[in-house]
Amino acid sequence: MTVGLQLFEIVDGKTRQKSFSPMVWRAKLALNHKNVSYETIPVTFLDIPVLIPKVCPNVKAPTVPTLKVADGEGLQDSLAIAEFVESTYKGPSIFGQTPSEKNLQLFFDSYISTRLHPVIQRLVYIEMYEDQDADNAAYFKSSREKGGKTLEELGGDQAQNLKDVKDSLGLIHTALVRSGGWITGEQPGWADFTLISAFIWFHSFAPQKFEEGVLNAIDDQVLRNYWNKAQQLIQ
């Protein structure tokens, strides 16, 4: 077990306990998968540009996740962190045994990022805003409304959003039925981490919408069983 890694993760502004970022969770699940010890450093939206450069001055544009890997040195981006973990630590593979396996998982990553993330964002805009303290709420609102649309307008038609989530889960459901376990087969991998992270984000802010849009999206127990099984990876 390696000690000393610090992972900066964004949390809600009110309780400062809800870790919700899907990109942070991708990194956390990769670390957990390899059984790597690390410390989480909770930050809010307004903390990010202040705290991360102090600890990791090599980081030019502070974001989360940032993994402090040495004094003054931080590693950004969930995929880069996962690749660092894969190459540095022993344990079950994150990306599979061959380049083609990794490429397929990165394709799945792109599918989640382009098809699932945007609609989840629309479904949780208001909830994310409401879970901030006054200063972080003001920042969240102003930064999202720069284009001229209000948060409500950005959220759009919630019924249609739920339909879009259900539609995007069709191929994922098929993959899970065929694999009989995780997306990647008998053991979870990067593809699973991207999907589970999106589910964590959605569930953190809108559990009732998550129930309707994901767990009850298809008339069987496949997605619900997958979510229940994923709890063993969430620490």
pLDDT at 1: 36
What pLDDT score does 180 carry? 84
**pLDDT given at position 2:** 42
12, exposed or middle or buried, with CB in 10 Å at 0-12, 13-18, 19+?
buried
Listed by start position, the domains of the chain span: 6-88, 99-233
CATH of domain 99-233: 1.20.1050.10
pLDDT of residue 8: 98
Q: Note the pLDDT of residue 235.
A: 75
For the four alpha carbons of 55, 63, 203 and 96, in that order, the dihedral sign comes to negative
Residue range 6-88 in CATH 3.40.30.10: yes
* pLDDT, tens digit only, all 235 positions of the chain: 344 899 999 999 999 999 999 999 999 999 999 999 999 999 999 999 999 999 999 998 999 999 999 999 999 999 999 999 999 999 999 999 999 999 999 999 999 999 999 999 999 999 999 999 999 999 999 999 999 999 999 999 999 999 999 999 999 999 999 998 899 999 999 999 999 999 999 999 999 999 999 999 999 999 999 999 999 999 7
Q: How far apart are CA 100 and CA 232, in angstroms?
A: 27
Helix (H/G/I), strand (E/B), else coil: 67? strand
